[in-house]
Amino acid sequence: MNYLASVAHQRCPRCHRGFVYRRTLKMNNRCPACGMAFNREPGFFSGASMIGMCISFPATLFILWLLLLLVPTLSLMGATALAFVLYLPLLPITLRLSRVLWLEIGRVFSPEGFNDAPPDDPPTLDTAPVPTDPTGLHAIEPLEQEREAAHENEHLHVSA
């Protein structure tokens, strides 16, 4: 399957088999077929909003042009408002296409970042990364009390 067909059918950019969306606006976290992570990081889909605007603007202008052509008695302001209202039902389609297209662009320009495999086990307190403060300047020490409590709970369950 080529890239454009993959975007049109909203399939995984890596394997082209799994669907990116499971419901109208609900994305899968990972590809059901190959396990590629779709939610890369916070803010990853910011670029998709720009693609959405690049799709929406010409589409709205086309609707405006059709309205002015078909109903010449409409004022420009009225036709513009009506064009926006008529475009509203197309927004979910635009959102879906722009996100899938952004995933495909990310895969093409950064293929090594899209070769991740699904994690084997969820991280535990011992293997979880050490959190940092929001500014990223100083590492926050892990809470030893939580780790000790987790180990005590493990010992309690084992001895019980």
Residue 90: pLDDT band (50, 70, 90) is very high
Percentage of residues of the chain with pLDDT beyond 90: 30
| Mean pLDDT rounded to a whole number for the chain | 77
CA angle, 98 then 6 then 54, to 5°: 20
C-alpha to C-alpha distance for 49 and 99, rounded to whole angstroms: 8
Instruction: Please answer whether residues 21 and 10 qualify as being in contact, where contact means their C-beta atoms are separated by less than 8 angstroms.
Output: yes
pLDDT of 154 reads 60
Q: Is pLDDT of 72 > 50? A: yes
C-alpha to C-alpha distance for 45 and 37, rounded to whole angstroms: 13
- In sequence order, what are the residues at sequence separation of 6 or more whose Cβ sits closer than 8 angstroms to the Cβ of residue 40? 106, 113
pLDDT of 109 reads 80
Query: pTM of the predicted model, to two decimals?
Result: 0.64
Say which residue, 127 or 36, is predicted with more confidence: 36
Residue 34: pLDDT band (50, 70, 90) is confident
